[in-house]
Amino acid sequence: MSGEGLGNIFDAVEEGAAGKSGPPGPDFKVEVEVPRRSLGDPAGQLASVPGKMDVDGLMVARKLGPGESSGGVRLHLGADFNDGATLRLRGQGGVSAGGGRPGDLYITVRIVGSAESGGANGLWLGLAALIAAGVATWYLGWLG
Q: Tell me the CATH number at 69.
A: 2.60.260.20
Looking at the fold, whether 77 and 10 belong to one and the same domain comes out as: yes
**If pLDDT is split at 50, 70 and 90, which confidence band does 65 have?**
confident
Q: Which residue has the higher pLDDT, 19 or 29?
A: 29
Looking at the fold, whether 100 and 125 belong to one and the same domain comes out as: no
Looking at the fold, whether 15 and 76 belong to one and the same domain comes out as: yes
pLDDT for 136 beyond 80: no
Residue 128 structural domain: 114-144
Burial 76-85 (b: 16+ CB within 10 A, else e): ebeeebeeee
Q: What is the pLDDT of residues 36-54, one digit of tens each?
A: 999 999 998 888 899 899 9
Number of domains in the chain: 2
**If pLDDT is split at 50, 70 and 90, which confidence band does 76 have?**
very high
Looking at the fold, whether 47 and 118 belong to one and the same domain comes out as: no
**If pLDDT is split at 50, 70 and 90, which confidence band does 15 have?**
very low
Q: Could you give the residue ranges of the DSSP H alpha helices within the chain?
A: 119-143
Looking at the fold, whether 141 and 107 belong to one and the same domain comes out as: no
**If pLDDT is split at 50, 70 and 90, which confidence band does 138 have?**
low
Looking at the fold, whether 59 and 82 belong to one and the same domain comes out as: yes
* Integer Cα distance of 46 and 24 in angstroms: 27
Looking at the fold, whether 66 and 1 belong to one and the same domain comes out as: yes
Q: What is the pLDDT of residues 94-129, one digit of tens each?
A: 998 888 999 999 999 999 987 654 444 455 666 666
C-alpha 134: how far from chain center: 44
Looking at the fold, whether 3 and 50 belong to one and the same domain comes out as: yes
Nearest in space to 100 (alpha carbons), one of 28, 11, 9, 24: 24
Looking at the fold, whether 26 and 90 belong to one and the same domain comes out as: yes
Half-sphere exposure of 136 (CA within 13 A, CB side): 6
* Integer Cα distance of 39 and 56 in angstroms: 35
Burial 93-115 (b: 16+ CB within 10 A, else e): bbbbeeebbbbbbbbebebeeee
Looking at the fold, whether 109 and 122 belong to one and the same domain comes out as: no
Secondary structure tally for the chain: helices H, strands E: 1, 7
Looking at the fold, whether 72 and 37 belong to one and the same domain comes out as: yes
Mean pLDDT of the chain: 79
